[in-house]
Amino acid sequence: MREAYHDQLGQLADQLADMCGMAGDAMERATSALLQADLGLAEQVIGDDVKIDDVRASIEEQAYALLALQAPVATDLRIVLAVIHAAESVERMGDLALHVAKAARRRHPNHVLSDTVEPYFAEMGRIAVELAREATDIIRTQDVERARSLEDADDAMDDLHRHLFTVIMDKDWPHGVPSAVDTTLLGRFYERFADHAVSVAKRTVFVVTGRMPGYGDDIDD
């Protein structure tokens, strides 16, 4: 009975890792759609978002069943609770990739971004996907040190996001207000995606150690 229970916990973690990988793939495609004005890729991200939502629904259903039927304690309880919260963050990652794809679709066949800021978004997209893939591996391995190091990559995203504002706010910005608004919103999507990936890694630290690093910095949107 106990072995079957731990198998169920393992399945929950595997589903969460798969879901995180899906969110990373979505952001990779969404970034390509954004930079290349690729309508097909944008539509793929938009159509696939429901799959991420379905995985979250399945995870929550199984997690709540475990809470109700098995009354887990200590580490087992931490796993179930961490998976529930992490699945919410991963779903938000998928939603943020969806927002990027919708922006690409909305402006098609034109490019959303000006040539001035496209290199920033290429790098932000790279970091976002790297964070999602790292978080995926961290879920599977429960590597605490690797989870803690994820914040370094998030710092790089934050630096890019801040610098983007200086570019937009420059008095010589030549691309107009609509372009500045699009750039601001898209930058926020990438920055929040990275924050959610870090939040998922923090949940792994919580599972292993029983302590939530950076408590109070958790993600609200």
Q: How many domains is the chain partitioned into structurally?
A: 1
- Residue 91 — pLDDT band, cuts 50, 70, 90? very high
Whether residue 135 lies inside any domain: the answer is yes
Assess if residue 38 is contained within a domain: yes
pLDDT, position 210:
76
Range(s) of the domain holding residue 14: 2-209
pLDDT at 221 over 60: no
Whether residue 44 is contained in a domain is answered as: yes
Lowest mean pLDDT among 62-76, 141-155, 162-176: 62-76
Give domain status of residue 86, yes or no: yes
Instruction: Provide CB contacts within 8 A for 151, sequence distance 6+.
Output: 198
Residue 220 included in any domain: no
Element (H, E) at 19: helix 2-36
What pLDDT is attached to residue 10?
A: 87
- Residue 24 maps to which CATH number? 1.20.58.220
Contact between 26 and 53 under an 8 Å Cβ cutoff? The reply is: no
The pLDDT score that the predictor gives to residue 23 is: 98
Kindly state whether residue 219 falls inside one of the protein's structural domains: no
Fill in the DSSP letter of residue 212: -
User: What does the mean pLDDT of the chain come to?
Assistant: 90
Q: Is residue 105 part of a domain?
A: yes
| Cα gap 156→47, rounded to integer Å | 30
Per-residue pLDDT of 93-123, as tens digits, reads: 999 999 999 999 999 999 999 999 999 999 9
Higher-pLDDT residue of 151 and 30 is: 30
pLDDT digits (tens, 9 = 90+) for 177-197: 999 999 999 999 999 999 999
So what's the pLDDT on residue 124? 97
pLDDT score for 217: 47
Is residue 218 in some structural domain?
no
pLDDT mean over 28-51: 98
User: What pLDDT does residue 180 have?
Assistant: 94
Q: 170: buried, middle or exposed (CB in 10 Å: 19+, 13-18, 0-12)?
A: exposed
